[in-house]
């Protein structure tokens, strides 16, 4: 794991360099020579925070259980999709 340190000025002038470096390890961003921020890839953040996202969480919508939905009833049978 490579650790990169950039000044705030370097970060502002070359954000793409910081993002590329974050793929290899944390990027420390300094203000007046002191570490102020850390840039991580989302995978690394999820790994260290223990917050992985699954498909159910990604597709869920807050408050969905409170929405009333009653689809109309139909006597028609479902038919196969025509892909041509």
Q: pLDDT tens string for the chain (84 positions)?
A: 889 999 999 999 999 999 999 999 999 999 999 999 999 999 898 888 877 667 776 677 677 677 787 777 777 767 777 887
DSSP codes, 36-71: EEEE--HHHHHHHHT-PPPHHHHH--TTGGGS---P
The predicted model scores a pTM of 0.59
Q: Check residue 79 and give its pLDDT.
A: 73
The highest-level CATH class for domain 4-54 is alpha beta
What SS3 class is residue 15?
Answer: helix
Round to whole Å and give the CA distance between 52 and 27: 21
Q: Check residue 69 and give its pLDDT.
A: 75
């Amino acid at each position: 794991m490579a650790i990169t340190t950039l000044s705030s000025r370097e970060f502002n002038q070359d954000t793409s360099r910081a993002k590329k470096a974050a793929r290899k390890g944390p990027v420390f961003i300094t203000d007046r020579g002191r570490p102020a921020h850390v840039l991580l890839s989302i995978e690394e953040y999820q790994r260290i925070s223990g917050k992985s996202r699954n498909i159910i969480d990604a597709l869920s919508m807050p408050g969905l259980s409170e929405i009333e939905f009653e689809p109309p009833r139909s006597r028609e049978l479902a038919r196969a999709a025509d892909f041509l």
